[in-house]
Amino acid sequence: MNIWPMPQIKIGAGCINDIPTALKELNAKKVMVVTGKGTVRVGNYDKVKTVLDASGITVVHSDDVQPDPSIQLVDSIAEKARKSGVQAVIGLGGGSALDSAKVAAAMVTNEGSIRDYIGVGLLPKPGLPLIAVPTTAGTGSEVTHLSILSDLENQTKKGFGSSFVIPKYAFLDPELTTGLPQKSTAATGLDAFCHCVEAYTSANATEYTDALAVKAIKLISGNIRAAYNNGEDLFARENMLLGSLLAGMAFANAGVTAVHAFAYPLGGMFHVPHGMANSLMLPVIIKFNASSKKERFAHVAELMSGKKGADWQDCISEVEKLCEDVNLPRNLKAIDIPESAIKPMSISVMDQTRLLVNNPREVTQKDAFDLYTEAWSR
């Protein structure tokens, strides 16, 4: 069993006030804060900047992050960090900002482009220390050794993995997530939910990842509706952050499966938000994988409903109910994915070998076509 290292983690309202203590431990007096423009607009950048200013820390700001960050974008942020002479990097925002910050910090001390190191364990040197402050719940990127970058040349997303991108600290402050709109609360929450369900049903699940995944399934399915219906509900927001963290720890070590593999062409070709893409594929993949993991999917249904005696089909209906309650679309047709995209997507998904290898059942080219066809009009 392999267990990746983890950052030191603080969770709770107001915990961002401890960021300067962490920077002191890292001996960093000048930092780059990596965000998107949305994080500035909702006031989260100012909240963190105020804390840093009060401790006399010099801040260099990159607000260049776009959703589904590209290899080129992250190379340019790394170049800015190199030139500015910062001693640490803070990633502040959703998974897109965290993934960009993780790779940019690592690339400060490594030569060339991140393109040269795509894969797992290929980065030669550690980079600048990184602090992750997630504002979605979410990707779990604050705790993983992974960053997902868009490859504009191939219109797909590529995974990059290295122990050198694991943050040194993570601050999970629910007050930074209260402004997350309903649509993003639903999509990012379903991303986290898929992480734990996929980890729990992965071919590489272990006792360690099972413990994390089971708790994460309960926390996320038990709090997502409350967070969706009242964004200011700090209790639900904190439980969502905790759930997505545990889900991140689970999938970092067990891997995600076909749900994520099939979601990537939807993100790469049509910019479907990552969590929504996962939610659209989850029911069809549960059905496809059920023959190999019947008991596990039945257990997921029990964890979601709190009722004993479920079977694997109940898992599909519980997931459908959850998605309906947070207004996620039912099929690909509903979000205007053309039927003609099924073929190219089913070819592209076969390149996601890094994820398909974790799936409990082998996926063939024909299966891929059939699964997208089902997801298109189910």
Q: Which residues bind Fe ion (CB under 5 A)?
A: 191
237, interface contact from ligand NAD, Fe ion, none, CB < 5-8 Å by kind: none
Q: Residue 184 interacts with ligand NAD (CB under 6 A)?
A: yes
Tell me how far apart the alpha carbons of residues 307 and 312 are, in angstroms, rounded to a whole number. Answer: 13
Q: Mask 310-339, x = binds ligand NAD (CB under 6 A)? A: ------------------------------
What 3-state class would DSSP assign to 7? coil
User: CB of residue 99 vs ligand NAD: minimum separation in angstroms?
Assistant: 5
Please answer whether residues 82 and 108 qualify as being in contact, where contact means their C-beta atoms are separated by less than 8 angstroms: yes
Q: Residue 358 interacts with ligand NAD (CB under 6 A)?
A: no
Q: Residue 274 interacts with ligand NAD (CB under 6 A)?
A: yes
Nearer to ligand NAD, 28 or 166 (CB): 166
- Please state, in angstroms and as integers, the Cα–Cα distance from residue 256 to each residue in 192, 196, 198, following that order: 11, 8, 5
For residue 1, give the amino acid letter. Answer: M
- Please state, in angstroms and as integers, the Cα–Cα distance from residue 343 to each residue in 9, 312, 340, 348, 349, following that order: 43, 29, 7, 9, 10
Q: Residue 99 interacts with ligand NAD (CB under 6 A)?
A: yes
Considering only 16, 32, 78, 180, the residue that binds ligand NAD (CB under 6 A) is: 180
Nearer to Fe ion, 173 or 191 (CB): 191
Neighbours of 338 (CB within 10 A): 10
User: CB of residue 282 vs ligand NAD: minimum separation in angstroms?
Assistant: 14
What is the end-to-end Cα distance of the chain in Å, rounded?
38
Q: Residue 265 interacts with ligand NAD (CB under 6 A)?
A: no
| Start-end of H helices in 310-364 | 312-325, 342-348, 353-356
User: CB of residue 142 vs ligand NAD: minimum separation in angstroms?
Assistant: 9
Nearer to ligand NAD, 191 or 314 (CB): 191
Neighbours of 121 (CB within 10 A): 10
Q: Residue 148 interacts with ligand NAD (CB under 6 A)?
A: yes
Q: Residue 38 interacts with ligand NAD (CB under 6 A)?
A: yes
For residue 219, give the amino acid letter. Answer: L
Nearer to ligand NAD, 47 or 294 (CB): 47
Nearer to ligand NAD, 219 or 290 (CB): 219
Nearer to ligand NAD, 12 or 67 (CB): 67
Nearer to ligand NAD, 146 or 315 (CB): 146
Neighbours of 267 (CB within 10 A): 23
Q: Residue 141 interacts with ligand NAD (CB under 6 A)?
A: yes
Tell me how far apart the alpha carbons of residues 23 and 31 are, in angstroms, rounded to a whole number. Answer: 9
- The window from 143-151, 204-212, 295-303, 347-355 that contacts ligand NAD (CB under 6 A) reads 143-151
- The window from 87-95, 116-124, 304-312, 356-364 that contacts ligand NAD (CB under 6 A) reads 87-95
Torsion angle, alpha carbons of 292, 295, 300, 305, to 10: 140
User: CB of residue 44 vs ligand NAD: minimum separation in angstroms?
Assistant: 6
Nearer to ligand NAD, 13 or 305 (CB): 13
Q: Residue 130 interacts with ligand NAD (CB under 6 A)?
A: no
Considering only 110, 177, 221, 223, the residue that binds ligand NAD (CB under 6 A) is: 177
147, interface contact from ligand NAD, Fe ion, none, CB < 5-8 Å by kind: ligand NAD
Q: Residue 158 interacts with ligand NAD (CB under 6 A)?
A: no
What 3-state class would DSSP assign to 233? coil
Q: Residue 221 interacts with ligand NAD (CB under 6 A)?
A: no
Tell me how far apart the alpha carbons of residues 325 and 302 are, in angstroms, rounded to a whole number. Answer: 18
Q: Is 139 left (phi over 0), alpha (psi -120 to 50) or beta?
A: alpha
Position of minimal CB gap to Fe ion? 191
DSSP per-residue letters across 175-231: GGTTT--HHHHHHHHHHHHHHHHHHHTSTT--HHHHHHHHHHHHHHHHHHHHHHH-T
